[in-house]
Chains A and B, each alone.
Chain A
Amino acid sequence: MTFEQIIFYFFSTILISGALGVVLVRNPVYAALFLILSFFTSSAIWLMLEAEFLGITLVLVYVGAVMVLFLFVIMMLDINMDPLREGFVKMMPLAALVAIIIAAEIVLVMASPSFNFDQSVVHAADYSNTKAIGNILYTEYVYPFEIAAVILVVAIIAAIALTLRRRKGVKHQNPSKQIRTKRNDRVRLVKMPSSSTQNRAGE
């Protein structure tokens, strides 16, 4: 076994046990933590495939942003686990069917000729994966890429529009108005005789 293989099996073991942890652990926060572990180790395996851009992006996007929001939501919900577990036996056949379909799909894709693993390409040390992806993404696949971007923007706007509600009677601050206030709007200087002169006048 070469050194590389040892590393690969090391990460694979962590990845598979992490993935099992996601589905087996009772506490949803621990499940989310196991998911983070799985993302992290799969990114390590991608790094071993010299796909450093994808590996780092996986950590950056999924671990650094998506999972943060995920944890956020899970922590705020007070999830009662009992009703979630009620139909476990009843749903078992359906779950098994879904699992078999997914496994079959994976095998079909991996067995297809486009996944020919014999021709592994060895790159020079200064080969930049990021540049290669950028070159392809912005020339050959520029339209699919931009369409995907537009769809995502539409999704963001739709999500915001669906949850937007204008409540009446809420007092908002207007920061630009606050910044534009002048001294004269807030302070009024009044000329008054000093108290000592007043006192003397009263005497």
Chain B
Amino acid sequence: MIESLISFWASLPIALTTVIVILLKIVAIILPLILAVAYTTYAERKVIGYMQIRMGPNRVGPKGWLQPIADVVKLMFKEVIIPEKSSRFVFLFAPIMVLAPALVAWSVIPFADGMVLADVNAGLLFVLAITSLDVFGVILAGWASNSKYAMLSAMRVGAQVVSYEIAMGFALVGVLMASNSLNLSDIVNAQAGGIDNWFIWPLFGLFLVYFISGVAETNRAPFDVAEGESEIVAGFHVEYAGMAFALFFLAEYASMILISALTSLMFLGGWLSPFEGTFLVNIPAIGALFDSGIHWFLIKIMIFLFFYLWFRATFPRYRYDQIMRLGWKILIPVTIVWLFGEMVAIGLGWTPWA
């Protein structure tokens, strides 16, 4: 049976087998990602629940574990309502436009050494370019809904995301100066050799700027003026229902996980273990747990995701002018000063990370 399968596989043309393998890899990334999104919503409700001294969802399934499944089923069976005077094509196209970049960017993320769908030379630039497309879906959704609340929200998102993208890009410049490469695998490998080699130490300011801008880019609290329910109901997705709304939700959480993954890749050494090179790695049987591997990457992603939830439970929403002030007058100058310092350090040959 297995031998006949193998011979059948070998008899297929090379081009076809390559396409099949790539498609399977894509499925292997997307499926866990969507599952992770579903359980991030559960984690969010639970974590915020406990922080506010209440239980969170606990009715569907044991301890509420089936809650996200129930939510998905509910959303799938709801009617997608299309406002009469909306621009029909753009209205339905916008949620896809939000979700697609959030998924495409995962194609260059290395999960472990060599475990990457496309090992692109300019991976960092690619991620930056693809994530900058996210904002279109939101703006288009706001415009196509033909609603004042949605339109106001689209304007807010446009201004906010374009402003924070600059700080984000500058923070990435620091990473690429330190790692001397745009390839994400090379960036992680440049941090090899123990926890003190991670870029978070020499680039701490850029790390803070990057993560703050990342929270702003994903329109999460405290930067969620786009949704600002007390002012503009639900913002750009106020007219959406059912699966169209679910796509926005999916995209928001997928980009949250993406930003967490990128932060851990660029500043916390991705799949590298903090115990790398210590005696713990040599312990028989459990040594592999302390060695570098995909589990460290996942743990780091979860830490940053927890930060996202923690922020949402703790911080009040920023006022719009304060968001602009933080982005333009604080984050961008911080990155420029930090980059200048880094430049001088590299010029003098003082590179502790290398």
Contact = CB atoms under 8 A, between A and B. Distances in A.
Interface residues of A, number: 28
Given A59-B129, A63-B133, A69 B122 contact: no
A60 interface: yes
A175 B121 contact: no
Contact of A29 (B143, B155, B162): B143
A31 to B, nearest CB: 13
A126 B185 CA distance: 13
Contacts of A173: 321
B135 interface: yes
B154 A56 contact: no
A17 B321 CA distance: 41
Contacts of A59: 129-130, 132-133
Contact of B162 (A27, A69, A76): A69
A72 B132 contact: no
Interface residues of B, number: 30
Contacts of A128: 121-122, 182
A65 B132 contact: yes
B162 A53 contact: no
B143 A63 contact: no
Nearest to A27: B87
Interface string A20-40: 000000010110010010000
Contacts of B143: 29, 71, 75
Given A52-B121, A69-B158, A63 B132 contact: yes
Nearest to A53: B122
Nearest to B319: A173
Contacts of B162: 65, 68-69
A67 B158 CA distance: 11
B304 interface: no
Interface of A: 3, 27, 29-30, 33, 36, 52-53, 56-57, 59-60, 63-65, 67-69, 71-72, 75-76, 126, 128-130, 173, 175
Task: Give the top 9 A-B pairs by smallest Cβ distance, nearest first.
Answer: A64-B132, A60-B129, A59-B129, A56-B125, A56-B129, A75-B143, A72-B158, A52-B122, A128-B121
